[in-house]
């Protein structure tokens, strides 16, 4: 598919082929994108779909067979190279993948499909995978049901092996004019888009604070999740408008609508340009109270945009993204280099490195221990305790990086005092190893905890006694307080940062931390939403961490905020006993 440049749109008679229609979802990342739809068949890879001539069938089957053979070789090689320190499941997982690959359902049936349907090998394989995955979904046993993820991973490997070996149409040429339409993306898929320059993304599934949506926001691209039927209803190359703020997708817009959105788009661009002037302005409220605005990053390269936005440090480095999209685990040295790169690039600004938050929607090959309810299962620090070698490796890498700048260590999903104690034991063990080898590290490294489980928010004294600082992860705090899976679009409408229970927990955590004299930040998505800036200031928050893309808009709001007024209205909002009243007061606060 090779999309024409956008200025051709208006004169291209093909574009108006189908009637215009609109789909509504949840706006995951603001801004407006206008471009051609590019449908992505599987989550991970763009799969070309085309018919082949009868005399091409044998060659196509050969292409498929050699990809399978190549992947078999890769799996055997990987199995042989599993290090002794790798999690126990690693080897078993590779064996399982080998078995899946060798099953005739995957290695034989697609050959028949190529012959019968005269379709390309990628399409045959994906169709077979979809059939298998549907069968897995019917299995009652949760463990077996989840093996569908393994089937997908094996298929993705084979697809990768086939890439470049067919007559597949090239990837869209003018990426900046392309809107990617998919049924779903995993956070791992989304991070791969950092290497592309698409205009926007829309998906059928997902909630606005899923990690997929968070990464979309960090890309600064308009995105909509939870559209339900976009993948089915939108056709390849149709002209679409993504209104990421409103969560509206307009397919085949008419001239008038197109014109309106072009105007809106330019107005937003001008606004963004203007905001850039604030990058070097210190953030403080109208009365001169300084406010820390820091950046959330996923990969070391993101520090570039953190610095551009004038962030006063990294408030959250989601290190688990270093572990995605690969079949092995990053070694201590590899991690150390990544952390050091971020720390050095930030110069004397602090970099808050969060220990692995794997599990739930971020799974790593070979160590997927999702369990029946992944968000409540072996996730984040619980996962690390279950994989001590992996945890110790990361702790050593972070400690080593601490010799090169101002590193702070942040631990996710803590709920119990004994978990904090155990973190310190592991940390000591990591320090001892480095001491024994004479490796330098910062002996005064600060250790903080994320408050993202209601139990933690209700027991802050227990945390501040043991830790140097706190960071409130509102994404999870809201998920766990309101009992809604943040990745599930079916319950996305219940996700409400203004729910009184959420506000009580956030305000209470800030109050208790301030009282104990311990720094407290918010690093969940609430911190990057201008609508909540004054509310959080009014609760006493002085440290915010968010995507670099959001930082300047939040700074502008801080610069225009009156603390006394914010405090008065925030305490009225806390006492409000009706959602309507809350919204009305918030409207006044933001006026
Ligand atoms: C949060 O839960 O608010 C948070 C910042 O962590 P994550 O989004 O990575 O779960
Ligand atoms: Mg979290």
Per-residue pLDDT of the chain (591 residues; tens, 9 = 90+): 344 444 433 334 344 456 899 999 999 988 999 999 988 765 445 577 788 899 999 999 999 999 999 989 988 887 787 666 655 556 777 788 899 999 999 999 999 999 999 999 998 998 898 888 878 877 877 667 767 778 887 888 898 888 755 544 444 557 788 999 988 877 777 777 777 788 999 999 888 888 888 888 888 889 999 999 898 899 888 999 999 999 999 999 999 999 999 999 999 999 999 999 999 999 999 999 999 999 999 999 999 999 999 999 999 999 999 998 777 889 999 999 999 999 999 998 999 999 999 877 777 654 555 678 888 999 999 999 999 999 999 999 999 999 999 999 999 999 999 999 999 999 999 999 999 999 999 999 999 999 999 999 999 999 999 999 999 999 999 999 999 998 888 898 899 999 999 999 999 999 999 999 999 999 999 999 999 999 999 999 999 999 999 999 999 999 999 999 999 999 999 999 899 999 999 999 999
Report the distance separating Cα 534 and Cα 526, nearest Å: 11
* pLDDT score for 519: 98
Distance CA 510, CA 410 (A): 17
The number of angstroms, rounded, from the C-alpha of 406 to the middle of its chain's C-alpha atoms is 25
324 SS3 class:
coil
Q: Tell me the DSSP string of 449-468.
A: EEE-SHHHHTTHHHHHHH-S
**Among the atoms of ligand 1, which is closest to the Cα of residue 524?**
3
Q: pTM, whole model, 2 decimals?
A: 0.78
- Separation of CA 441 and ligand 1 centre (Å): 27
Continuous H helices in 221-302: 230-233, 255-275
Phi, psi dihedral angles at 182 (to 5 degrees)? -140, 160
Which atom of ligand 1 lies at the shortest distance from residue 452's CA? 2
31 lines ligand 1 (CB under 6 A): no
Residue 226 Rama label (left phi>0; alpha psi -120 to 50; beta): left
User: Rounded to an integer, what distance in angstroms lies between the CA atom of residue 513 and that of residue 456?
Assistant: 12
Dist. CA 101–CA 150, nearest whole Å: 10
Backbone angles phi, psi at 469, to 5 degrees: -160, 165
- Pocket-testing residue among 412, 486, 502, ligand 1, by greatest number of atoms within 8 A of Cβ: 412
Look at residue 352 and give its three-state secondary structure: strand
**Ligand 1 atom at shortest distance from the alpha carbon of 475:** 3
Ligand 1 lined by 357 (C-beta under 6 Å):
yes
Cβ–ligand 1 distance for 318 under 6 Å, the answer: yes
Q: What φ, ψ does residue 521 adopt, rounded to 5°?
A: -125, 165
Q: Please tell me the distance between residue 297's alpha carbon and the centre of ligand 1 in angstroms.
A: 12
Q: Which ligand 1 atom lies nearest to the CA of residue 211?
A: 8
DSSP letter (8 states) at residue 158: H
Q: Point out the ligand nearest to the CA of residue 413.
A: 2
Q: Looking only at Cα atoms, what is the longest distance across the chain? A: 78
Whether 216 lines ligand 1, by a CB cut-off of 6 Å, is: no
Query: What does the alpha-carbon distance between residue 447 and residue 470 come to, in Å, rounded to a whole number?
Result: 9
148: left (phi over 0), alpha (psi -120 to 50) or beta: alpha
Ligand 1 centre and the CA of 456: distance in Å?
Answer: 14
Distance CA 87, CA 489 (A): 33
Provide the CA 521 distance to its chain's centre, in angstroms.
Answer: 20
Q: Strand (E) positions, 468-586?
A: 469-472, 520-522, 543-546
What's the Cα-to-Cα distance from 207 to each of 261, 314, 490, 493, 550, rounded to whole Å?
25, 25, 8, 9, 19
Beta strand residue intervals within 145-206, DSSP E: 178-182, 200-203
Helix then strand count (H, E) for the chain reads: 24, 16
Residue 574 Cα to ligand 1 midpoint, Å, equals 23
> Tell me, what's the pLDDT at 89?
59
Could you please report the per-residue DSSP string of 77-134? HHHHT--TTS-THHHHHHHHHHHHHHSHHHHTHHHHHHHHH-B-HHHHHHHHHHHHHH
d(CA 216, CA 250): 19
Question: Is residue 382 within 8 Å of 414, Cβ to Cβ?
Answer: no
Mutation choice for ligand 1 from 324, 450, 502, 522, CB with most ligand atoms inside 8 A: 450
**Neighbour order of strands in the sheet with 32-40:** 21-24, 248-251, 239-243, 32-40, 178-182, 200-203, 223-225, 26-29
CA 133 to chain centre: 24
Nearest-CA residue for atom 9 of ligand 1: 318
Confirm or reject: Cβ of 474 under 6 Å from ligand 1: yes
Cβ atoms of 412 and 378 within 8 Å: the answer is: no
In this predicted structure, what is the pLDDT of residue 140? 76
Q: Is the CB of 298 under 6 A from ligand 1?
A: no
Half-sphere exposure of 514 (CA within 13 A, CB side): 13
Q: Residue ranges of the alpha helices (H) in 321-469? A: 332-345, 381-386, 388-401, 417-436, 454-457, 460-466
For a pocket test of ligand 1, which of 317, 319, 475 has the largest count of ligand atoms closer than 8 A to its C-beta?
A: 475
Point out the residues that are catalytic. Answer: 211, 523
Q: How far is the CA of 570 from the centre of ligand 1 (A)?
A: 23
How far does the centroid of ligand 2 lie from the alpha carbon of residue 521, in Å? 13
The residue whose CA is least distant from atom 8 of ligand 1 is 475
What percent helix, strand, coil does the chain show, rounded to 5?
55, 15, 30
- The residue whose CA is least distant from atom 1 of ligand 1 is 473
pLDDT at residue number 390: 95
Measured CA to CA, the distance from residue 410 to residue 402 in angstroms comes to 13
């Amino acid at each position: 598919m090779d999309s024409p440049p956008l200025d051709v749109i208006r004169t291209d008679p093909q574009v108006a082929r189908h009637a215009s229609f609109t789909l509504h979802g949840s706006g995951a990342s603001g801004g407006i994108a206008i471009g051609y739809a590019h449908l992505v068949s599987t989550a991970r890879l763009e799969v070309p779909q085309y018919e082949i001539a009868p005399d091409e069938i044998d060659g196509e089957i050969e292409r498929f067979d050699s990809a399978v053979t190549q992947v078999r070789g890769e799996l055997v090689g990987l199995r042989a190279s599993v290090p002794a320190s790798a999690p126990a499941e690693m080897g078993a997982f590779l064996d399982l993948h080998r078995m899946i690959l060798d099953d005739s359902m995957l290695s034989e049936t697609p050959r028949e499909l190529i012959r019968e349907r005269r379709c390309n090998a990628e399409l045959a394989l994906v169709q077979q995978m979809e059939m298998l995955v549907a069968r897995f979904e019917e299995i009652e046993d949760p463990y077996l049901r989840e093996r569908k993820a393994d089937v997908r991973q094996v298929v993705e490997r084979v697809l990768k092996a086939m890439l470049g070996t067919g007559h597949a149409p090239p990837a869209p040429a003018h990426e900046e004019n392309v809107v990617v339409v998919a049924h779903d993306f995993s956070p791992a898929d989304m991070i791969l888009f950092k290497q592309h320059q698409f205009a926007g993304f829309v998906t059928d599934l997902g909630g606005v604070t899923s990690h997929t949506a968070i990464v979309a926001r960090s890309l600064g691209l308009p995105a909509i999740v939870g559209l339900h039927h976009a993948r089915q209803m939108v056709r390849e190359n149709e002209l679409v408008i993504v209104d990421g703020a409103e969560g509206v997708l307009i397919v085949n817009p008419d001239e008038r609508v197109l014109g309106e959105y072009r105007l809106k788009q330019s107005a937003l661009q001008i606004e963004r340009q203007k905001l850039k002037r604030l990058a070097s302005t210190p953030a403080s409220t109208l009365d001169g109270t300084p406010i820390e605005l820091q950046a959330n990053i996923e990969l070391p390269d993101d520090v570039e945009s953190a610095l551009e936005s004038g962030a006063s440090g990294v408030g959250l480095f989601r290190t688990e993204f270093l572990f995605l999209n690969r079949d092995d685990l990053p070694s201590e040295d590899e991690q150390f280099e990544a952390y050091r790169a971020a720390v050095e690039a930030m110069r004397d600004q602090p970099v808050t490195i969060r220990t692995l938050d794997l599990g739930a929607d971020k799974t790593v090959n070979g160590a997927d221990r999702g369990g029946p309810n992944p968000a409540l299962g072996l996730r984040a620090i619980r996962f690390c305790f279950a994989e001590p070698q992996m945890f110790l490796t990361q702790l050593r890498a972070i400690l080593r990086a601490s010799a090169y700048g101002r590193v702070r260590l942040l631990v996710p999903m803590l709920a119990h005092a004994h978990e904090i104690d155990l973190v310190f034991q592991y940390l000591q063990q990591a320090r001892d190893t480095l001491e024994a080898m004479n490796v330098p590290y910062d002996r005064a490294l600060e250790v903080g905890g994320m408050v993202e489980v209601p139990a933690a928010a209700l027991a802050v004294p227990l945390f501040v006694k043991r830790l140097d600082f706190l960071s409130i992860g509102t994404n999870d705090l809201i998920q766990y307080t309101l009992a809604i899976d943040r990745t599930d679009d079916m319950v996305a409408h219940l996700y409400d940062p203004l729910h009184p229970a959420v506000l009580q927990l956030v305000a209470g955590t800030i109050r208790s931390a301030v009282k104990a004299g311990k720094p407290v930040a918010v690093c969940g998505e609430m911190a990057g939403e201008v609508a909540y800036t004054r509310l959080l200031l009014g609760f006493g928050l002085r440290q915010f961490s968010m995507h670099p893309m959001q930082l300047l808009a939040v700074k502008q709001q801080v610069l225009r905020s009156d603390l006394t007024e914010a405090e008065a209205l925030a305490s009225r909002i806390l006492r409000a006993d009706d959602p309507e009243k809350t919204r009305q007061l918030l409207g006044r606060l933001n006026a």
